[in-house]
Amino acid sequence: MSLNIAVLTTGDELINGEMSDTNTARIAQLLSAWGYAIKESRTIGDDESEIEAALRDLSSRRDVVISTGGLGPTDDDLTARAAARTFGRRLALNEEALAQIRRFFAEKNKEMHPRNEKQALLPQKALILPNRLGTAPGFYLRQGTCDLFFLPGVPGEMAVMLEELVLPHLYERSGGSAPQQERILQVFGLSEPKVEERFSHAPLPQGVHLAFGVEFPFVRVKLRARGESADELLNRAEMHARKLLQPFVFAVGKETLPGNVARMLTDTDRTLALAESCTGGMVAQMLTDIPGASRFLDRGAVTYSNAAKQDWLQVPEDILNREGAVSKACAQAMARGIRQAAGTDLGLAITGIAGPDGGTPDKPVGTVFLALSAKDEQRVQGYRFSGNREQVRRISACMALEWLRRYLGNHY
Amino acid sequence: MSLNIAVLTTGDELINGEMSDTNTARIAQLLSAWGYAIKESRTIGDDESEIEAALRDLSSRRDVVISTGGLGPTDDDLTARAAARTFGRRLALNEEALAQIRRFFAEKNKEMHPRNEKQALLPQKALILPNRLGTAPGFYLRQGTCDLFFLPGVPGEMAVMLEELVLPHLYERSGGSAPQQERILQVFGLSEPKVEERFSHAPLPQGVHLAFGVEFPFVRVKLRARGESADELLNRAEMHARKLLQPFVFAVGKETLPGNVARMLTDTDRTLALAESCTGGMVAQMLTDIPGASRFLDRGAVTYSNAAKQDWLQVPEDILNREGAVSKACAQAMARGIRQAAGTDLGLAITGIAGPDGGTPDKPVGTVFLALSAKDEQRVQGYRFSGNREQVRRISACMALEWLRRYLGNHY
């Protein structure tokens, strides 16, 4: 049975322009992994009569309502009271909820503020949904044929409660058929139409469904199957997809490109140094975002000036004069130079024209050269990326990381 | 008269987890600058009966409905047809809309695809809202007491049409009282409660309203006034607020911190070199995000290893051994070293412990030292920032930029 599901997110900050609602997309992602979809999402402010109107309307038209926000301790947290009114229930102190809040503070060795007691005031006969990450317990109500789940608005707390408490309930309600499972392959270097085309020539095993998502500059390939053999089906589908999309799959599931490069460097005990021109430190920043980056990253040079390229990377003046700083020869010299300066296993260099200015007929905006230097390999290549400054910079940085990933994959 | 306004955003990608709706927040920002607020926002997929149900319900309960999306040329663009059905109108070819689409293609010297004609099929008696940036004309309907505006989903097109076509209409409808004006001051280094406290002791000129927003690590102070003297009132309020919040205001309106630093460096013809340890290139990346950064940035060093600090920055081994890489003395030596290596006017250095590992009782996670070196000034200071790795890195990078802004402000 397919469930008709609505999301209700509340909070003044979501409709006054301060922030965009991201809970809806997060909920949709988590639901879709189990094969459920959202029909509608509503966002309203911290306004009791608006919350009441929305709950009344949604509960009469949907099978499931997932509400987020408005469960905090302050005066503008109105969801529990609005839910009680909407469905004609009394608001009463829920002892179980109170015990959970007390426990939360005790475990943190913090004193509980009296106003946190308010968070235990729930509609009568509500079942509490424990929150192990924060003070706000969620709750569940059944009204007519509608299941209503009330979760906190903090994304991390909401997501855990959705996965652990709401999804199993939906699974049971929708007949206990095994939930859909999802495996996501992340692809870089092939456009969505090209990925689709490859699959159209070599379809997946029966029972596996395919969907796509794009998050610049990556394409996500989503493999989905349900039933008892879903896991095995997805293993086969993943093998199939990997073969089809070789060598463009850089990650599975929640892995990231910099995360995988970092792991491979650490696993193989290799060290790295970077020389960045047009990306201006973006590769260094992406890698140092990862805890423990000091184990493999020795240094990075952001060499905007020619003097810096000469001093630190020993790029010959001759190359700069004859070929220019944006050239194959310069990229190669930068990679070799940074590897030698740092004494690392690998040296990686990027030089290019990110725009909007600086392009020439020969080397238009988007011209980028990458070079990799290792003991056993010297590689250099030119690209012509399209897009604005930010996009050229991002795709260049990702391509540099992808070079590292492929090199390390071949030298594991 | 205060208008009761709802937003309706449509598109499968908004409810299937692929992307978050950002149009609602954008609309709210544009509306709030004129003194209007959104009561509710709904998001539904490309589903004609869902669109109909939403339009019927919203038009019966709200004064104004602003719809975005579903005006494109493909089969899943259903908004015009759904609107025609909802309000019992025929869908007819709108000659004015067709002429606009033809003109759009002619001006770009592109051939018009026959399917783009579909975009001129609008509900009868709709007024078209011309779109000068894209192919999809918007349209306007009056139904009962409700004004409905249908705009394309592309954020840039939507925003221009909202500002140029929708807001003037709302202004007239709400009685032609002068719209609200808004001025935003961006603050770094004071928390929201502390900003609030300063205003509570020294209130703003009468007629100016105050609101706050937080976008880590910044606080936005919003000054609002309406009426014919709004501009002058806001000038006075801005002066007042600047005095109160001195020296923490780093930008007004759409200015950014790196943008202002870049402008000040360019204006004063000063050059800069960076030495980053825990921020791993984040400051370099933020500054090189700005076109023309090569005019002031000579180079940046991401010196993770001690060897890099010695080679490139001439940090004495003695300091590294005795005080450690995360110390006042090391930060100072790094700033001086990078300035000398690059021969720039300014050298800026950051060293610290971003976590999650690496903290000690003496130097816990969040310990960060900044140093600035100039001909006439050497400055160094230690901080203890709280937050996770990402937050410590971000706040450190912003603080480094803020140091530059203040130095340049004093040396203009």
The string of pLDDT tens digits covering residues B345-376 is 999 999 999 999 999 999 999 999 999 999 99
Q: Is the pLDDT of residue A136 over 80?
A: yes
By Cβ distance, the residue of B19, B302, B390 closest to A25 is B19
The pLDDT value recorded for residue B110 is 82
Q: Is the pLDDT of residue A85 over 60?
A: yes
Residue-number span of the structural domain to which A108 is assigned? 5-173
The DSSP bridge partners found for residue B283 are: none
**Which residues of chain B from 186 to 225 reach within 8 Å of chain A, CB to CB?**
213-215
Q: Which backbone phi and psi does A40 adopt, to 5 degrees?
A: -160, 145
Token duo for residue A196: 């689709």
For residues A241 and A261, membership in a common domain is answered with no
**Which residues of chain A from 279 to 308 reach within 8 Å of chain B, CB to CB?**
279-285, 287-289, 291-294, 297-305, 307-308
Find all residues with CB under 8 Å of A18, minimum gap 6, and list them: A12, B25, B213, B214
Query: Considering just the CA atoms, what is the radius of gyration of chain B in Å?
Result: 27
For residues A76 and A201, membership in a common domain is answered with no
Residue B193 and residue A377: Cα distance in Å, rounded? 57
The pLDDT value recorded for residue B292 is 94
Strand ranges (E), B110-158: 121-123, 127-129, 138-143, 146-151
Residue B42 and residue A3: Cα distance in Å, rounded? 19
**Which residues of chain A from 306 to 335 reach within 8 Å of chain B, CB to CB?**
307-308, 311-312
B269-293 tens-digit pLDDT: 999 999 999 999 999 999 999 999 9
User: What CATH number is attached to the domain comprising A235?
Assistant: 3.30.70.2860
For residues A208 and A167, membership in a common domain is answered with no
User: pLDDT tier at A1 (50, 70, 90 boundaries)?
Assistant: low
Say which range, A59-68, A339-348, B27-36, B403-412, has the weakest mean pLDDT: B27-36
**Which residues of chain B from 245 to 274 reach within 8 Å of chain A, CB to CB?**
274
User: pLDDT tier at A325 (50, 70, 90 boundaries)?
Assistant: very high
Mean pLDDT of A329-354: 98
For residues A14 and A59, membership in a common domain is answered with yes
> CA geometry: angle at B159 spanning B102 and B182, to 5°?
150
Residues shown for chain A: 412
For residues A234 and A367, membership in a common domain is answered with no
For residues B168 and B210, membership in a common domain is answered with no
> Are A40 and B15 within 8 A, CB to CB?
yes
ipTM of the complex: 0.82
Domain endpoint, select from A131, A148, A173 = A173
For residues A242 and A299, membership in a common domain is answered with no
The pLDDT value recorded for residue A35 is 83
B302-351 tens-digit pLDDT: 999 999 999 999 999 999 999 999 999 999 999 999 999 999 999 999 99
A40–B contact, CB cutoff 8 A? yes
A60: helix, strand or coil? helix
Give percent of chain A above pLDDT 90: 80
DSSP state of A37: -
User: pLDDT tier at A404 (50, 70, 90 boundaries)?
Assistant: very high
For residues A40 and A72, membership in a common domain is answered with yes
Domain endpoint, select from A148, A173, A198 = A173
B85-138 tens-digit pLDDT: 999 999 999 999 999 999 988 988 888 888 889 999 999 999 999 998 888 899
B48–A contact, CB cutoff 8 A? no
A281-290 tens-digit pLDDT: 999 999 999 9
User: pLDDT tier at B228 (50, 70, 90 boundaries)?
Assistant: confident
For residues B263 and B194, membership in a common domain is answered with no
B12-49 tens-digit pLDDT: 989 988 889 999 999 999 998 888 999 999 999 999 99
User: pLDDT tier at B211 (50, 70, 90 boundaries)?
Assistant: confident
Mutation pick from B2, B12, B18, B192 vs chain A, by most beta carbons of A within 10 Å, is: B18
Quick one: closest CA in B to A293, which residue?
B304
Query: How many helices (H) does chain B have, and how many strands (E)?
Result: 15, 17
Strand ranges (E), A216-345: 218-225, 249-252, 272-276, 297-303
A88-97 tens-digit pLDDT: 999 999 999 9
- From B293's Cα to the closest Cα of chain A, the distance in A is 9
How many domains is chain B built from?
3
Q: Is the pLDDT of residue B1 over 80?
A: no
User: What CATH number is attached to the domain comprising A72?
Assistant: 3.40.980.10
For residues B281 and B381, membership in a common domain is answered with yes
The pLDDT value recorded for residue B248 is 96
Quick one: closest CA in A to B394, which residue?
A289
User: pLDDT tier at A178 (50, 70, 90 boundaries)?
Assistant: low
Q: What phi-psi label fits residue A25: left (phi over 0), alpha (psi between -120 and 50 degrees) or beta?
A: alpha
> Which residues does chain A have within 8 Å of residue B27's beta carbon, measured at their own beta carbons?
17
**In sequence order, which ranges of A12-139 are alpha helices (DSSP H)?**
12-15, 23-33, 48-61, 79-86, 95-107
Q: Is the pLDDT of residue A55 over 90?
A: yes
Q: Are A3 and A64 in contact (CB under 8 A)?
A: yes
Average pLDDT, chain A: 94
> Which residues does chain A have within 8 Å of residue B389's beta carbon, measured at their own beta carbons?
289, 291
The pLDDT value recorded for residue A177 is 66
> Which residues does chain B have within 8 Å of residue A40's beta carbon, measured at their own beta carbons?
15, 42-44, 50, 54
For residues B261 and B404, membership in a common domain is answered with yes
For residues B244 and B341, membership in a common domain is answered with no
Domain endpoint, select from B252, B269, B295 = B252
User: What CATH number is attached to the domain comprising A288?
Assistant: 3.90.950.20
B342–A contact, CB cutoff 8 A? yes
Q: Is the pLDDT of residue A264 over 90?
A: yes
Structure pTM? 0.82
Other C-beta atoms closer than 10 Å to the C-beta of A160 total 16
